Structure 1
Amino acid sequence: MRRILASALAVCSAAAVLLHGPTAQAAAQVDGYVWAYQPSVASYTAASGYERNSTGGAVVITRSSAGVYSVRFAGMAVSGGVAHVRPYGSGNTAICTIASWLPVGVDEVVSVRCFSAAGVAADSYFVAHFTNRTAAYGTFAYLWAHDPYSATPYTPSTAYSYDSTGGSPLAWRQSQGVYMVQMPTVDAHYPVDNNDGHYQITAYGTTAVRCEVHGENDETPTPIGIFCVDAFGNPADTRFSLSYSRGVNVLGTTTARGNAYFRHSWGDPASYWAEGFWNTGGTPTIAYLGVGRYRVTFPGLSIPYGYAQSGSRGDPSTYCATAYWGSNAVTVNCYNNVTDAYADSDFTVTITS
């Protein structure tokens, strides 16, 4: 495995300082996801089939101004957990972040901010999910890295972190916009089969910042590199939420349906292969549709509706998002994070229901 960053700092524990953010852990376990498909509508109940609320309640999306949304999962009120969001759509170079998640009455409300590629608040299609599940299968971990400035490894808020191994994660800032994270769940698989799992990351806050997972250092414990940039591709400090799932879906509810990590040859950009994957029907296949555009098919998979997410992996100059998906295939678009033009990139993708 290639070395991705300079050697990690010596690991030590530090007291976590809880900043304003999502709100304390609860016993009830819930999960939900949504495809937000009416970006300019003031308020609507998601009813495309591409939504889930584990309590059976509605998922209501409200737009209060350009790019400012709340996703209300009725009856799902809990504290703790983790939330993620990604822009959605072919050619969509928007930036979307999580501004907060918290219980409001009996509901769970996830606040989303979206921006144009220039960093201006703007309406956008997006996909988002929330979960506070503990892993029913496989291995599963998530955290909220609440301190964007600490160069000393610290333990992220325990109210917003979980690791199915029972261990505690660490996070720290290596340089502007560059972070390292240790997750015991990843340590349990690295370097043998960690690539069969799936990472998700989302910048947390109300400014236009993108984050992507770079990959793991060849060390034990295993630091995971995170790169965050502003709308112009400049390194930017931020809080973020991070998840890793292997053998279980991104909600932590069922066995993984389909996920893959695709790498490519820099000498032959159209040459891609699955570095790791999880799919009971066999190795996922990839169709190269043109620079920065790919269709990944999961043999044997058939999911009505469902939920898909994707992201760049291993290249700090790119970002990726889901263009669309069907019952067994996901189309992924990747872009240069300075020019926002299509760009070839390694990437990860997942689909579930």
Structure 2
Amino acid sequence: QTTLGEIKTLFGAIPRKTLPARPGCAFQPVSAVTLRYPTDYPVGVAVLAYRLPGLKARDYAAADILARVLGSQRGDLYALVPAGKALFAGFQSQFLPRAGIGYAVGAFPKGGDAEALLAQMRAILARYAADGVPADLVDAAKRKAIAQLAFQKNSITGLANAWTNALAFQDLDSPEDMAAVYAAVTPAEVDRLARGVLQPAHVITAILTPEPSGKPIAGKGFGGAESFAAAPEKPVALPAWANAALNRLELPKSTLQPYSTTLRNGLRLIVQPEGISDTVTVLGSVRTQADLQQPKGQDGVGEVLSGLFNFGTTTLDRLAFR
């Protein structure tokens, strides 16, 4: 209430102003097309892109869950990687208020067969559209989406973003409303959306083929360069509120009271209680130095070992580990 009162004091006196009407969004059905471009990337990229509902749409939550399921490392798209059929494979999405985009992406080596990879990606998405997505992956995606909303409370920017998205972009009253919408999503709703979205007649296909130019890759920005380095033309005085803040700089009182113990197996356990949100963060580290510990003549074995961790353990296969 104190914060709300301060906000009203600072902004409540600003007069209301009628903003100009926003342009309408009359989207037409997407027509299938294939785009081919060269790239300086060392690998080729194959993409299948689809339009998804936007943040304000009634079925946005189902669309987000669908995108998460398709991108799951327990899903069939990612399975192309351990099977040796793709260097990378997955599904990514981006949502705006009125529309979103989701795209399956796969990477192939230089000289590889992009069409063969695309055929496998199309077959996987067609199977999901026809037979539905795994219900257990839907449940996992829902839990993760709800957990991510809760974890946003643990930072100032995260909390601000959660409320901004809920109020400004999704026409909701709070992030908790979005969590409730996620919780209400059913596998049947996700399957229905998959059947409507993953249509070959409305897919944008893109193929990026490696063709090194021999020139360094340069990033390009939009518009001209922006700089705030210019010196002021006359003396500048800080506003009163800034001066007041700088004159009373104080270190915040630490509230850290960690509990530390060593378990019987030698692991040190440190627990720091926090009352910000109903979340638990588990962090672990092993003190190691690969440069000193890897056997002589086996340089790089540590990097190989790190890469293997994603594919399971001696007792759990890749899917069980995930």
TM above 0.5: no
Q: Which has the larger radius of gyration?
A: 2
TM-score using structure 2 length:
0.24
TM-score using structure 1 length:
0.22
Greater share of helix: 2
Greater share of strand: 1
